[in-house]
Structure 1
């Protein structure tokens, strides 16, 4: 007897080999599955074409055994058909779902409106509330003060960014574009990169260099586990000079103006006041005062007793304005001055030179109010040009392009 039987699958799965592993709810019958029978699985109806190979009997005893024995008891009666198998996808959208309009999803009330009633808003009077307050609010309620010290990233009181106006490090500006900065960006930077260009063909590997720190010999057993020895001639390693490319062209980072006044310890404090006013006038930066750190018996200077020095550090727009005045106004008017010595430098790209008191008086800020400063109290100063170069020769090349003259033997 042939019959089309609806087989209920319990956790059935159709494998790649098209073998059907299932539990049948009807036993003891000669079951023949005709070609084109629809079988319902857990994931929906699946249309499969099978070719019946033989009649088989499923015994009741196989149903009592565990599922792993049941899979062995069911023979391979279902063979895949050579014809193409078509699958019917499951429908995820119900036909009876009500249609919703897009306007139903819009909120009726605006998020910008206040939830406070109009009577409460009209009755609020901040002027009368402030006048009725007997004590003043603390400063922390209406004014933020940046901390003086940075106590680390985990401290609850964090300083704001230097670009924030409430920061102690905030510097307003820039308010203009100095000529020296324009010259550097338009001419000097590209010229230095061209002059210092070193061509390296593809695949070039630089020759290996000897280690900069020396190892200890085995002449003594105490040399074991010691750190490496310093370089010959000193304990400080010089900076490594990298090839100059578009991203590391040397530039002036900051300028330091320093003045040491020994008369401030010998006579009175008016010398240090005049020096501070003069340095602050030519640099446009508030100066810092320093006390002596060493003892000089000839000048009657004791360490930590007298204030004998002032210093101003220039950056950004103020630095470029000062450098422009120095190159265009002061240095050309200095008589019998040949230029900065070629041996100047600290082997790290910083150049220092000094100005006499009569040279400091050539700055426009001093000349316009020359009667304000006692002629004998105008101080001399040392000017240090800090550059991003790693070697003195690159710093001299940069300053020469900017207009600072050098003379004498150039020491590399």
Structure 2
């Protein structure tokens, strides 16, 4: 029995060795097309049978003469386009079209923008903590089977006191030529977020002294990292010496991560250093989820970007600024709730 075991073991080893050698012989060929190229088939004669590893290296003389840019410049006709090369569509023809434009994050997209290269701390806190807190604070339990209340009528109807009132469209409410957005309940796919932040600075002294405008623009550039646009006055005020059309201010808008970075510095560095500051007035807002508040020149000087080079800006030319926070909320109540969760205090009667 032992002898049989030894014979079977040696036979298995011999068969394994023969199989390994045959595998090596098979793998030494480049591909199956090598066997086809060796045959006399005229269809596959153009296939290469040698590997690129065995190609000899170029000599120094050949390397000097190898100039692909010169060959491309001398080429009169462009290379033929490959049918496997993807070209994104130039126009978006709707969601039902069989050919759709790639996302903006796709490198092949026409509107490709690289990034983001960093995740702001305030935005990360919003995604991990603040968003769930807002859903909890704004939750309004409705028992099953409760009938839905019809929406309130916002447009005024005609009293039909005249025959011309018939079939006429309803009128807007008094004192509001533009209807504000109707507030929607906060759900998992409707959580308010920061959309953009606009900073505007007005310096009426720049009408007589353009140096004020240079300092104002430099300060706004340091705060936002984007070059502000110069604004002009819309009307003339004789008492203040303001002439219509004169350059007297700057304005810039920041989006996405830049807006969260600016708001993070404002909440955690600048606002805690203001003495006897109540907070933002609770009555601010345009009724559609956009809030605004102002900062004095002394407060603008507390930003780290300005404070590190404070001697570069003349003290008497330091401007104040107005901050407009645009959110995806549909009411001022939701926008205040979002900024309160981020750390901005509000005061006064709502």
Tell me the residue number matched to 1:364. Answer: 304
Deviations 1:18-70 (A, max 9, x none): xxxxxxxxxxxxxxxxxxxxxxxxxxxxxxxxxxxxxxxxxxxxxxxxxxxxx
Alignment deviations for residues 305-357 of structure 1 (CA, whole Å, 9 cap, x no partner): x2112112111111111111101110001112111111111111111111000
Residue 337 (structure 1) aligned with residue 282 (structure 2): no
Q: 1:273 aligns with which of 200, 205, 214?
A: 214
Equivalent residue number for residue 295 of structure 1: 236
* CA deviation vs aligned residue, 1:200-248 (integer Å, no higher than 9, x gap): 3334331224432122122122223322111234232221111111010
In 2: Cα distance, 1:294 partner to 1:353 partner? 23
Q: How has the CA–CA distance of structure 1 residues 289 and 171 changed in structure 2, closer, same or farther, with 3 Å as cutoff?
A: farther
When residues 338 and 210 of structure 1 are mapped into structure 2, their CA distance, relative to the original with a 3 A threshold, is closer
Q: Deviations over 1:56-109 (max 9, x none)?
A: xxxxxxxxxxxxxxxxxxxxxxxxxxxxxxxxxxxxxxxxxxxxxxx99x9954
2:147 to 181, 190, 205: 205
After TM superposition, give the deviation of residue 124 of structure 1 in Å.
10
Structure 2: 5+ residue runs without aligned partners?
1-34, 49-61, 76-89, 94-100
RMSD over equivalenced CA pairs, Å: 3.5
Structure 2 residue matching 1:398: 3-state secondary structure = helix
Please, which of 250, 253, 261 is the counterpart of residue 313 of structure 1? Answer: 253
TM-score normalized with structure 1 length: 0.60
**Residues 1:132 and 1:254: Cα distance change in structure 2 (over 3 Å):** closer
- Inter-CA distance 161–288: structure 2 relative to 1 (3 Å threshold): farther
Partner residue in 2 for 1:401: 341
C-alpha separation in 1, matches of 2:314 and 2:108: 39
- Who is 2:27 aligned against? none
Other-structure match for 1:194: 136
Q: 2:332 — aligned with what?
A: 392
Cα 1:286–1:160, aligned 2, differ >3 Å: closer, same or farther? farther
Report deviation, 1:299: 3.1
Moved more, 285-294 or 226-235: 226-235
Distance 1:168 1:408, change over 3 A: farther
How far is 1:250 from its partner?
Answer: 1.2
Write the mapping of 1:142-161 to structure 2, written as runs, cut at 5 A.
Answer: none
Which TM-score applies when normalising by structure 2? 0.70
Match of 1:373 among 297, 313, 321: 313
Superposed displacement of residue 128, structure 1:
5.0
- 1:254 paired residue among 179, 196, 199: 196
Q: Secondary structure at the match of 2:316?
A: helix
Match of 1:325 in 2: 265
Cα distance in 1 for residues equivalent to 2:330 and 2:72: 61
1:139 aligns to what? none
1:220 counterpart = 2:167: no
* Higher gyration radius (CA): 1
How far apart, in 1, do the equivalents of 2:109 and 2:213 lie? 30
Ranges in structure 1 where 5+ consecutive residues have no aligned partner: 1-102, 114-121, 134-150
CA 248–110 in structure 1, closer or farther in 2 if over 3 Å, else same: farther
Alpha-carbon distance, 1:279 to partner: 0.6
Change in CA separation of 1:363 and 1:166 when aligned onto 2, cut-off 3 Å: farther
Count of aligned pairs between the two proteins: 278
Q: CA shift at 1:162, angstroms? A: 5.7
Deviation per CA, 1:133-185, whole angstroms, max 9, x where unpaired? 9xxxxxxxxxxxxxxxxx9879xxxx998658899976543222211011111
Higher helix share: 2
